[in-house]
Structure 1
Amino acid sequence: MKLRPLVITLALLAPAVAAAPATAADGSYSATIRRTEYGIPHVTAKDYGGLGFGYGYAFAQDNLCTLASWVVTLRGERSRYFGPDAESDDPVKPVANLASDVYYRSVAGSGVVRRLLTRPAPIGPSDELRRLVDGYVAGYNRYLADTGVANLPDPRCRGKAWVGPITATDMWNNLLDLSRMVSSSSFKEAITGIAEPEDEAGAPEPRPAAGSNAWALGRQATRGGGGMVLADPHFPWQGIRRFYQVQLTIPGVLDVSGGSLYGTPVVQIGHNATVAWAHTVSHAQRFTVYRLKLADDRSYLVDGRAEPMGEQEVEVTLPDGTVSGHRLRTSRYGPVLAVGQTGEAAYALADANAANLRAADEWLAMARAGSLDELREAQRTYQGMPFVHTLATDASGTAYFADTSVVPHVTDAQAKRCAASSPMPGLDAYVLDGSTSACLWGRDGDAVVPGVFGPGNQPKLVRADYVANSNNTYWMANPAKPLTGYPKAYGETGTDLEPRPRVSLDMIGRRLSGTDGLGAPGFTLQTLQATVHGKRNLTFELMRDDLRTMCRSRPELHEACRVLEKWDGRATLDGEGAVLWREFFTRLGRPTKPGDPVFSPWRVPFDPARPLTTPSGLKSDDPGVRQALADAVRYFRSNRIPLTLTPGQAQSYSSIPIPGCTEGEGCFDRVRMRGPLGANGRYPEVDTGSSFMMAVELTGSGPRTRTVLTYSLSANPDSPHHTDQTALFSRGGWVTERFTAAEIAADPHLQTVAVHGGR
């Protein structure tokens, strides 16, 4: 029986909200939400305000609780509702609620968002983005008013006192916090002086790390001669940094489909009819730390003159209604850190993204781009990418890579000349002398804001074959044309690629030569999908022969060796040996006893002249290597865990088995669990890994796209779309995207809702 599309019209009376939204000329918003397989929303409106309204309404239907909790965070109210010592809901770097509240109240008190909203674009938001944000807020609030807090479908926030209407200010604060994600917002404890909560063992809990893979394939790499993009961001599987899949359309103006981070009204990774793009996290500098030479406990010296520190009083309300007061100090560089202070020195954080609201406008302009040239112009105009590389292509088949992200303007010579002692061990950032203005950030004439490198200094590469990145530095975007000569603030060159970037480049190389078993050379949409889901474990491939040599001389390890001998080296659900290899590999290099140095297990060390083939081999005659395998086997046996334990048995999300291997092993689509392998033969739940995967082919007749949202569309555990795509991802499936109106209308499961609302 053919199913008829369901069409519903909702005429909505708008609620009173804290910030009055901009509206259409007749004082109302209007949008159409069409949902296809897996609940994916396609939002259409006649203007930006209506588009935002429809998007905010659709998102609230699926994920209101997640955003409502995050708004409590952005307002600095977590201690009031959840207690000061509980852990915050930041999925990247959780801290105690009190530290979170003090930090976010200090951001609000600084007035940075208020000042940016008074500026014209590109420094402040464009009129289009303002209308989009206002509409998004109105749509979210309309859904909340229409449903009622007591009747919300998600049990996580149903009837909770902390759920209420949101404001445009909340959304601007969220966009700012996204820009600060790997800089100021990851220094909450250091800024506030409030320590991070510890686990039961007394040590900070391991945190998920953002990563990603991305390829842009040009006409020389594709069988069809057009461009193709693979997007595989590795972002948290919980909380506000999840992706939401959506299509946003204003006929004749905008038509973009892809992944949009929660609480943002724009698509970050996606495509339109002729252009596609993806991002990977860049490890360029985002901030510097300045060492302040103190004149006294309230001032510091710059060029021999004393400058007073600023002071900010912050108050946080506790559950019993009492107020906790905190005093923070600031400097010309940024907040003064609560760590590293002595009677002679203090340290301040200078964040290049401290006032960056430009990213959302850049993504919006990229979504409107009709060609790769127009996408690049959008990036030159806004210069707002906070911490990511960009890889893109268009229907002409030109592949593009660039690190257009915001990077402090610190030249190599200045970094050397101004180097100062660090306030924290292991701080991966420039620490500069703050006592002289000669160490202030420089300025490029083509930069839209002072203190950062402009487009002329940014690493970039345009090719007809391909560009790729897997969180390695920019220099190996294409091995045929290594990039060098850029400021070291963008990253080092000539360094070890690490296994995941190496397997990524090897996968491309084998496909282009036709030696991967998938047929004739060159990429099609089908071979791109198959390549991505190969689940190769590169470290096993590189060490397998030497492992066999070691096994022949160690009779007590023969059972484990037989398991690894039979394993095909792929981290599939049924890969018997994949988990044993992981437990062995992660023990490699560890000291055999306290005080021993860490050693490299590689037989052939890294050679900068051979970055694609070194390091390689296994030091099979090293006692530490033999001990690592023996220790892994002992753990399995002592806990009665079978050596043949598979990823499908050991790792899961919402009870659904998840394939893949961990960072460092050399799997392309890596996963990360919340902790180590337990005595029950299971890891804690997956919390990071491939998130919104997109394979898109741009053709003369339009885009052909396959996607999978690994953790599914809704965080609501009672939603039918809570794990439906997770089950699809588990078995290696993809969703055939519906992009055109005809494709959407042809979906037998189509449901259509028209939403309207006023002020």
Structure 2
Amino acid sequence: MPAAASPDGQATVIRRTSYGIPHIKAADYRGLGLGAGYAFAEDNACALADIAVTLAGERSRWHGPGATTLSGDNNLVSDLYHQRVNQSRVIERLLAAPNGPSRQARDLMRGYADGYNRHLAGTGGSTDVTCRGAQWVRPLTEIDMWRRVYQVATFEGGESAPGNLVTAQPPGSPVPPATPVARPGDVGSNAIGLGKAATAGRTGMVLGNPHFLWQDDFRFYQQHLTIPGELNVSGAGMAGAPFVLIGHNDRMAWSHTTSDAEVTTLSKLALVPGDPTSYVVDGQAHRMTSEQVTVAARQPDGSVRPVTRTLYRTPEGPLYELPGPGEWTDSTAYVFRDANADNLRLVDQWLAIARSGNVQDVHASLKRHQGLPWVNTVAADSTGAAYYADIQVVPHVTDELRARCAAGPQIGRLVLDGSRSSCGWGSDPDAVVPGRLGPGRLPSLVRHDHVSNMNNSPWLANPAQPLTGYPSIVGDVGTERSPRTRLGLDMIADRLDGSDGLGAPGFTLPALQASMLGNRNLTAEQGRVAIVAVCQANPTLTASDGSPVDVRAACAALAAWDGTGETGERSRGAYFWRVYGNNGMRGPDMWLVPFDVADPARTPRDINAGSPRLKQAFADTVKAFAAAGVPVDLPLDTVQQYAGIPIHGCNGAEGCFNVINGPYGRVPVSQAPDIRHGSSFVMAAELTRSGPRMRSILIHGQSVNKASPHHTDQARLYARKQWVTGLFTETEIARDPRLAVRVLR
């Protein structure tokens, strides 16, 4: 077939291989975006249309103000938040700035919108019946795409607190403070970078294991993007984004984890007596700026009416309100400041990472763009160097400023004194944007054995060379690590000395894959046997209400359980252990050996099974199962499914590396809805001297469309602990038995 011309006179080719993975090849960034947008629309046109409605502040118009977004926010709250962003024209200003996104980035986003629109035009709206013919499905513009970029940038900032921002009102307002939205816990990731001293092949390897959303706007999507001689990168990006966030090229691989750094602060304002919309700074009174924000809302009778709310801000940012300690009173109010509120640099940042030939290039790109929002970076290259950095966008709050300006209790975010101008963010000469910490203050590390991060601070990226000296807003030092972090460090150490049963010491690609899906559970390893011994010796335990409880069945379930997050018959007891932990196992007396800063990777350890509190918690858990009518030996399969497929893995709080979080809390359940969050895109990459070798699983699949063959195909693969072999070279792609080619004009 002859190559047809695309808008720039060159061909854009989409080659689909097994599991629906698109390999897009184009002559330039506009063509690359065209192919990426078209391919994504084939799989997820309705999802991107819905994202566009959200970011345009039009959910109430089309779906009613009382409904909710996929993340659980009220539609009216979501619309007011996004419409406020849109009418501020912050995105347009950033695009027009002299230091705004590059031409390549702009072309990529324009092309993506073109590709999506091309698909809609060719299918009459969408091939997905869930939105086919819907009025809210429309062609997209470049601004729609940059709104999506801005949403990703502010995911841990304004995007995480829309209710707190649009319900912030002076005392006496009829608008109630925001009701907290229950969001998935443990949003984060694991990442391991391995150097030549840790690998059997004396080269670099990366394990990327983001724990992200399965049924939200922030799903991952796998893609391979190529501009010959310019860019060749394979991995996963965020839905609706034409760039790779976690992936590899021919010589380097990288991943990210959610950083422990605080990317927002609150300023506590002292208000002018008798005027709750005026505040005092350095003894001078200032008036807040009021903003009229109007959105359209569909009424029960089908009519559409405007809803207007007056919102307030200061030059630092919008007003913020939290019920209870963070309420707007006659004397106090709070201002929200997001370090990523002016960040569109992330597109050029991820393009620069994708073009990096080694970890030194990655480091240089992070310093040059300083565009990563809220994430750490872990990488390795074909020379056998491993790299960790938390070089991202962080408010310039030194420890001296924090000590001098911290204002009262921290209400989920760092609170600074807003009545003194000297308590504002400072700046560094090497910072790309004023008010942020410069790269020179942020931690990084190059090793030839290993680096890792499992969402704790940078301190133990490698226990042999602890990172210190960074401001506390980046993270702490010398404190207890989470059970998940400790298990990750155990997995590395056990592989390096060969004690994990996976063969000779040192990482190979199969050993890295097996470690990832081993489903070890640290708290079970540290205490299941001891807990079983106690309950076998005490078949009746006393609950917190003083009643005696027969615990023999639960004890037998834990004795038979293998102590992992596997599914099937061997999982009976796993769910009881999880609920037992949530119901009170954890506490100051949980461990026999307490945390020791001199041995942070191995302490605390050994669960204190004989503790009266842990015995009582065991009895209470048995009672909770009985009250719910749920057997104590409920198989994990029953409560951990996706489209009816049993999903192995377990919670990070239990000390599991392969995190799977179900939508249930402390109460036992007999049946749970689909998994909503956890291990999502899993990538094991080896950078050999002859090219990359990669294995991956996008567990929730490429498509949200339940009718698509790529909705559950990889979930079934994951359930069998099988992986997709990465296809990177032209020869590998051409040999795929399911290859399908489309050329876009």
TM-score normalised to structure 2 length: 0.93
Is 1:747 aligned to 2:736, yes or no? yes
Q: What corresponds to 1:166 in structure 2?
A: 140
Counterparts of 1:146-295 in structure 2 under 5 Å? 146-149=122-125, 152-193=126-167, 204-295=181-272
What CA distance in whole angstroms lies between the structure 2 residues aligned with 1:307 and 1:204? Answer: 33
Query: How big is the shift at 1:327?
Result: 1.0
- The amino acid that maps onto 1:379 is L
Q: What corresponds to 1:645 in structure 2?
A: 634
Which of these residues, 304, 312, 330, is aligned with residue 321 of structure 1? Answer: 304
Structure 1 residues 111 and 624: CA distance shift in structure 2, 3 A: same
What CA distance in whole angstroms lies between the structure 2 residues aligned with 1:264 and 1:600? Answer: 47
Structure 1 residues 11 and 646: CA distance shift in structure 2, 3 A: farther
What CA distance in whole angstroms lies between the structure 2 residues aligned with 1:642 and 1:285? Answer: 42
Which of these residues, 515, 533, 550, is aligned with residue 499 of structure 2? Answer: 515
Query: How big is the shift at 1:623?
Result: 2.8
Q: What corresponds to 1:458 in structure 2?
A: 442
Q: What corresponds to 1:16 in structure 2?
A: none
Counterparts of 1:600-615 in structure 2 under 5 Å? 600-615=589-604
Query: How big is the shift at 1:622?
Result: 2.6
What CA distance in whole angstroms lies between the structure 2 residues aligned with 1:105 and 1:640? Answer: 47
Which of these residues, 487, 494, 497, is aligned with residue 471 of structure 2? Answer: 487
Deviations 1:39-82 (A, max 9, x none): 10000001110000010000000011111101101000011111
- The amino acid that maps onto 1:317 is A
Which of these residues, 573, 576, 582, is aligned with residue 580 of structure 1? Answer: 576
Counterparts of 1:523-542 in structure 2 under 5 Å? 523-542=507-526
What CA distance in whole angstroms lies between the structure 2 residues aligned with 1:224 and 1:649? Answer: 41
Gaps of 5+ in 2: 168-174, 540-549
What CA distance in whole angstroms lies between the structure 1 residues aligned with 2:242 and 2:154? Answer: 18
Q: What corresponds to 1:593 in structure 2?
A: none
Deviations 1:93-130 (A, max 9, x none): x3111111111011011111111111234xx1011000
Contact 2:694 2:725 in 1 (8 A): yes
Is 1:63 aligned to 2:44, yes or no? yes
Is 1:334 aligned to 2:317, yes or no? yes
Is 1:44 aligned to 2:28, yes or no? no
Q: What corresponds to 1:562 in structure 2?
A: 556
Query: How big is the shift at 1:665?
Result: 0.4
What CA distance in whole angstroms lies between the structure 2 residues aligned with 1:204 and 1:306? Answer: 35
Structure 1 residues 374 and 195: CA distance shift in structure 2, 3 A: farther
Which of these residues, 349, 353, 365, is aligned with residue 366 of structure 1? Answer: 353
What CA distance in whole angstroms lies between the structure 2 residues aligned with 1:211 and 1:298? Answer: 38
- The amino acid that maps onto 1:87 is T
What CA distance in whole angstroms lies between the structure 1 residues aligned with 2:553 and 2:148? Answer: 53
Q: What corresponds to 1:691 in structure 2?
A: 680
More deviation, 745-754/542-551: 542-551
What CA distance in whole angstroms lies between the structure 1 residues aligned with 2:578 and 2:2? Answer: 51
Which of these residues, 703, 711, 714, is aligned with residue 722 of structure 1? Answer: 711
Deviations 1:605-636 (A, max 9, x none): 32222212222223323332112222333344
What CA distance in whole angstroms lies between the structure 2 residues aligned with 1:140 and 1:195? Answer: 40
- The amino acid that maps onto 2:502 is L
Gaps of 5+ in 1: 1-6, 13-22, 591-597
What CA distance in whole angstroms lies between the structure 2 residues aligned with 1:228 and 1:625? Answer: 41
What CA distance in whole angstroms lies between the structure 2 residues aligned with 1:61 and 1:475? Answer: 43
Structure 1 residues 347 and 233: CA distance shift in structure 2, 3 A: same
Structure ranking higher on relative contact order (CA contacts 8 Å, 6+ apart): 1
Query: How big is the shift at 1:648?
Result: 2.1
Contact 2:3 2:11 in 1 (8 A): no
What CA distance in whole angstroms lies between the structure 2 residues aligned with 1:633 and 1:306? Answer: 60
Contact 1:206 1:674 in 2 (8 A): no
Q: What corresponds to 2:85 in structure 1?
A: 107
CA RMSD, 1 decimal: 1.9
Q: What corresponds to 1:120 in structure 2?
A: 98
Contact 1:208 1:687 in 2 (8 A): no
What CA distance in whole angstroms lies between the structure 2 residues aligned with 1:131 and 1:718? Answer: 33
Query: How big is the shift at 1:196?
Result: 8.3
Query: How big is the shift at 1:416?
Result: 1.1
Query: How big is the shift at 1:679?
Result: 6.7
Contact 2:529 2:559 in 1 (8 A): no
What CA distance in whole angstroms lies between the structure 2 residues aligned with 1:344 and 1:500? Answer: 43
Question: Secondary structure of 1:484's partner?
Answer: coil
Contact 1:314 1:328 in 2 (8 A): yes
Is 1:477 aligned to 2:466, yes or no? no
Deviations 1:273-300 (A, max 9, x none): 0011000000211011111222333332
Deviations 1:658-705 (A, max 9, x none): 011112101111111112487762233211010010000001110000
Deviations 1:522-556 (A, max 9, x none): 00001111111111111011113431341243124
What CA distance in whole angstroms lies between the structure 2 residues aligned with 1:333 and 1:63? Answer: 38
Number of aligned positions between the proteins: 716
Query: How big is the shift at 1:177?
Result: 1.2
Which of these residues, 93, 96, 120, is aligned with residue 144 of structure 1? Answer: 120
What CA distance in whole angstroms lies between the structure 2 residues aligned with 1:309 and 1:676? Answer: 41
Q: What corresponds to 1:86 in structure 2?
A: 67
Question: Secondary structure of 2:490's partner?
Answer: helix
What CA distance in whole angstroms lies between the structure 2 residues aligned with 1:679 and 1:112? Answer: 46
Structure 1 residues 344 and 8: CA distance shift in structure 2, 3 A: farther
Is 1:621 aligned to 2:610, yes or no? yes
More deviation, 340-349/100-109: 340-349
Question: Secondary structure of 1:489's partner?
Answer: coil
What CA distance in whole angstroms lies between the structure 2 residues aligned with 1:614 and 1:482? Answer: 16
Q: What corresponds to 1:3 in structure 2?
A: none
What CA distance in whole angstroms lies between the structure 1 residues aligned with 2:135 and 2:426? Answer: 48
What CA distance in whole angstroms lies between the structure 2 residues aligned with 1:440 and 1:156? Answer: 48
What CA distance in whole angstroms lies between the structure 1 residues aligned with 2:133 and 2:611? Answer: 61
What CA distance in whole angstroms lies between the structure 1 residues aligned with 2:321 and 2:625? Answer: 44
- The amino acid that maps onto 1:126 is S
What CA distance in whole angstroms lies between the structure 2 residues aligned with 1:99 and 1:513? Answer: 53
More deviation, 512-521/428-437: 428-437
What CA distance in whole angstroms lies between the structure 1 residues aligned with 2:112 and 2:609? Answer: 59
Question: Secondary structure of 2:45's partner?
Answer: helix
Is 1:308 aligned to 2:282, yes or no? no
Deviations 1:202-250 (A, max 9, x none): x854534421000000000000011000000000101221110000001
